[in-house]
């Protein structure tokens, strides 16, 4: 039985460098066109073995691959043996690695056939079950490749409601024992759909109640047992190392949850949502206390956890401090600080790595900053760890290996987001007090944030902070009169360069300096700046004009009196 296909036969030159490969493909095409299962099976098995590690394709073969893809989609509509279905799907998976040959699979017919074999074709009444799990997993792999590479497939997948089919099967995880690979590729496909389509993300979050579903799935995957709604039980003697397969599933779930909670921190949560987010936050605290079979894997797991925690409403993060202090816990002010300490250690690990700081560092910095701003015990604990009372007054704040030194170095980083996050974190730990901030970082490092916040003239930003003050060390008190506020350290006294000059020579040097500044200003290399009444930097001319206006207004008021 011959299979029809809308793709025409490609023309190729016998002198082409790809002639041999095309001839091999043509033999596969002829085998598939014959329609005999055994013939098709042998031909595709041979092709799959040859191309199993192939990830780059010749352009000359593109039309041939499209034609083969069309034939395979038609062939899969027949009643085939599972072994033949798996082999056909393996070939489609290999073909789908080529982004230029996705046409046969990125239309509605192709996607529905693959979804049917994956067991996720949506129906109003039932979800089709595929009896052979190998077929299901191979079809899911194909869909992952296609959805990742094709915008058209992403759009059609949304219309085909594949996300609804996936959620129906995920609901069964608690009742039925599915193999690891099936669950992993279910979750990977769900992650891709929610990452690439905003409408799918909203559909899963709202219509399909995905936050609760994925929270329950994470709970099942980690085997969490609850002491109360906001505390997971964890025996100190029990190993908290998560097995590799469960860790892989947990990370996919965290990524899906990140996608569907992306806007949650910006919205006002009602009582029901707040309870759900607190429950999720408690589960994420449990994730922070877990480790994987390797430092890199643990860091990756904690990274996904931190990213998701940053999406939760701030008021829900109090669950990080909920557990009672136990033997071996880190305690501060009578509160269990284990989770906050893990976050701080994670931050320092990323600081030391120094790689892709914006992606790897800013989520943790932002989370700790907002937690410190919102929860006083967290801020005070972090202050003790990051900004202990000053003793070293001989070195610049950015020099050294302490956490403070590392963060101050970031305050002059080239990446605006990185330096802003680092500065904001330290500023909050200083209770947004300009004098305290300058004390720990130096005015030169602090200038960027102070200018942006309109605090160049000093003062304190608005914030709900207690009135307690720092206790300065004896070393700091003794050195304070000699500390240069710009560099933040005691500077060696340099000899006065004007010593020995006559008054006339001093006047000449001063005029040279004035001329240099005037020249730079006229050539617009530099612009003289002043501090406006709002505390922000402005041009010197504008500052003088504002001062003149205020004086005139003041004189006018006094005359009228």
pLDDT at 64 over 60: yes
Q: What is the mean pLDDT of residues 436-459?
A: 83
Q: Tokens 């982004």 belong to which residue?
A: 99
Residue 561 lies in a domain: no
Q: What is the mean pLDDT of residues 289-294?
A: 90
> CA 250, CA 304: separation in Å to the nearest integer?
10
> CA 94, CA 402: separation in Å to the nearest integer?
50
- Write down which residue in 319, 341, 363 finishes a domain: 319
Maximum alpha-carbon separation in the chain: 109
Check: CB of residue 40 under 8 Å from CB of residue 28.
no
Name which of 43, 100, 101, 51 is nearest 75 in CA terms.
43
Check: CB of residue 173 under 8 Å from CB of residue 220.
yes
Total domain count, the chain: 2
Lowest mean pLDDT among 33-37, 92-96, 318-322: 33-37
> CA 46, CA 549: separation in Å to the nearest integer?
87
Residue 541 lies in a domain: yes
> CA 353, CA 295: separation in Å to the nearest integer?
13
Taking only Cα atoms into account, the Rg of the chain, rounded to an integer number of angstroms, comes to 32
Check: CB of residue 157 under 8 Å from CB of residue 111.
yes
The pLDDT tens digits for 348-397 are 999 998 888 899 999 999 999 999 999 999 999 999 999 998 887 778 88
| Percent residues over pLDDT 70 in the chain | 81
Tell me what pLDDT residue 237 has: 36
| Segments forming the whole domain that contains residue 274 | 209-319
Residues 6+ apart with CB under 8 A from 71: 3, 5, 29, 32, 33
> CA 405, CA 402: separation in Å to the nearest integer?
5
Residue 33 lies in a domain: no
Residue 314 lies in a domain: yes
Lowest mean pLDDT among 32-41, 80-89, 441-450, 475-484: 475-484
Residue 41 lies in a domain: no
CB-neighbour burial class of residue 58 (10 A; exposed 0-12, middle 13-18, buried 19+)? middle
Q: Which two tokens stand for residue 539?
A: 């041009």
> CA 61, CA 24: separation in Å to the nearest integer?
11
Q: At 433, phi and psi to the nearest 5?
A: -95, 125
Task: Choose from 73-77, 433-437, 440-444 the range with maximum mean pLDDT.
Answer: 73-77
Q: What is the mean pLDDT of residues 303-324?
A: 93
- Write down which residue in 269, 298, 319 finishes a domain: 319
Tell me what pLDDT residue 4 has: 44
Q: 4: phi > 0 → left, psi -120 to 50 → alpha, else beta; which?
A: beta
Residues 6+ apart with CB under 8 A from 144: 185, 188, 189, 192
The pLDDT tens digits for 80-132 are 999 999 999 999 999 999 998 899 999 999 999 999 999 998 876 655 565 68
The SS3 call for residue 372 is helix
> CA 133, CA 250: separation in Å to the nearest integer?
21
Tell me what pLDDT residue 435 has: 87
Tell me what pLDDT residue 559 has: 55
- How far CA 234 is from CA of 73, 227, 275, 343, in Å, comes to 50, 9, 21, 19
Tell me what pLDDT residue 464 has: 59
Tell me what pLDDT residue 328 has: 84
Tell me what pLDDT residue 560 has: 53
Strands of 331-415 (E only): list them.
Answer: 331-332, 335-336
The pLDDT tens digits for 124-179 are 665 556 568 999 999 999 999 999 999 999 999 999 999 999 999 999 998 888 99
pLDDT at 302 over 70: yes
> CA 306, CA 483: separation in Å to the nearest integer?
38
Name which of 265, 312, 463 is nearest 373 in CA terms.
463
> CA 439, CA 443: separation in Å to the nearest integer?
8
Check: CB of residue 170 under 8 Å from CB of residue 213.
yes
> CA 426, CA 393: separation in Å to the nearest integer?
18
**35 vs 14, which has greater pLDDT?**
35
Q: What is the mean pLDDT of residues 399-417?
A: 92
Residue 1 lies in a domain: no
pLDDT at 223 over 60: yes
- In the predicted model, what is the mean pLDDT of the chain? 85
Residue 545 lies in a domain: yes
> CA 139, CA 119: separation in Å to the nearest integer?
9
Q: Kindly state the DSSP code that residue 204 receives in the 8-state scheme.
A: I
Tell me what pLDDT residue 492 has: 65
> CA 34, CA 281: separation in Å to the nearest integer?
58
Residues 6+ apart with CB under 8 A from 498: 506, 509
> DSSP alpha helices (H): ranges in 121-209?
133-149, 151-159, 162-170, 180-196, 198-202
Tell me what pLDDT residue 82 has: 93
Residue 313 lies in a domain: yes
- Write down which residue in 277, 297, 319 finishes a domain: 319
CB-neighbour burial class of residue 532 (10 A; exposed 0-12, middle 13-18, buried 19+)? middle
Q: Which two tokens stand for residue 53?
A: 């590690």
pLDDT at 442 over 70: yes
> CA 67, CA 109: separation in Å to the nearest integer?
15
Residue 79 CB coordination number (10 Å): 6
């Amino acid at each position: 039985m011959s299979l029809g296909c809308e793709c025409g036969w490609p023309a190729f030159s016998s002198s082409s460098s790809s002639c041999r490969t095309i001839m091999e493909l043509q033999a596969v095409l002829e085998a598939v066109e014959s329609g005999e299962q055994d013939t098709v099976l042998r031909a595709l098995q041979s092709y799959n073995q040859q191309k199993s590690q192939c990830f780059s394709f010749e352009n000359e073969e593109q039309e041939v691959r499209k034609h083969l893809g069309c034939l395979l989609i038609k062939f899969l509509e027949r009643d085939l043996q599972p072994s033949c279905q798996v082999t056909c799907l393996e070939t489609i998976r290999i073909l789908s690695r080529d982004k230029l040959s996705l046409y046969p699979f990125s239309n509605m017919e192709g996607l529905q056939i693959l979804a049917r074999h994956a067991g996720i074709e949506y129906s109003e009444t039932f979800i089709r079950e595929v009896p052979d799990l190998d077929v299901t997993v191979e079809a899911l792999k194909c869909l992952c490749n296609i959805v990742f590479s094709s915008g058209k497939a992403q759009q059609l997948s949304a219309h085909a409601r594949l996300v609804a089919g996936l959620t129906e099967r995920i609901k069964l995880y608690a009742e039925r024992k599915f193999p690891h690979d099936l669950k992993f590729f279910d979750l990977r496909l769900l992650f891709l759909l929610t990452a690439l389509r905003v409408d799918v993300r909203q559909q899963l979050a709202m219509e399909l109640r995905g936050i609760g579903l994925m929270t329950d799935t994470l709970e099942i995957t980690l085997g969490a047992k609850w002491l109360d709604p906001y505390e997971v039980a964890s025996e100190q003697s029990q190993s908290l190392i998560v097995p590799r397969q469960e860790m892989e599933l947990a990370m996919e779930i965290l990524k899906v949850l990140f996608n569907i909670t992306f806007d949650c921190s910006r919205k006002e949560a009602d009582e029901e949502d707040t309870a759900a987010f607190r429950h999720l936050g408690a589960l994420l605290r449990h994730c922070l206390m877990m480790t994987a079979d390797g430092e890199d894997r643990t860091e990756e797991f904690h990274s996904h956890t931190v990213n998701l925690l940053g999406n939760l409403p701030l008021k829900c993060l109090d669950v990080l401090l909920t557990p009672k202090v136990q033997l071996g816990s880190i305690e501060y002010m009578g509160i269990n600080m284990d989770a906050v300490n893990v976050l701080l250690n994670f931050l320092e690990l990323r600081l030391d790595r120094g790689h892709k700081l914006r992606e790897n560092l800013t989520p943790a910095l932002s989370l700790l900053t907002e937690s410190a701003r919102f929860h006083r015990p967290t801020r005070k604990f972090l202050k003790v760890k990051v900004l202990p009372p000053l003793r070293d007054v001989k070195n610049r704040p950015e020099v050294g290996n302490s956490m403070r030194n590392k963060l101050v170095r970031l305050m002059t980083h080239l990446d605006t987001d990185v330096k802003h996050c680092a500065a904001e974190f330290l500023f909050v730990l200083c209770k947004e007090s300009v004098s305290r901030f300058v004390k720990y970082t130096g005015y030169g490092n602090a200038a960027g944030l102070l200018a942006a916040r309109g605090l160049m003239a000093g003062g304190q930003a608005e914030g709900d902070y207690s009135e307690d003050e720092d206790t300065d060390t004896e070393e700091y008190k003794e050195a304070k009169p000699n500390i240069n506020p710009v560099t933040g350290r005691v500077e060696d006294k340099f000899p006065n360069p004007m010593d020995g000059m006559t008054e006339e020579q001093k006047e000449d040097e001063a005029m040279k300096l004035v001329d240099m500044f005037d020249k730079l200003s006229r050539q617009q290399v530099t612009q003289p700046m002043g501090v406006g009444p709002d505390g922000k930097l402005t041009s010197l001319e504008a500052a003088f004009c504002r001062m003149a206006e205020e004086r005139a207004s003041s004189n006018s008021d006094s005359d009228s009196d």
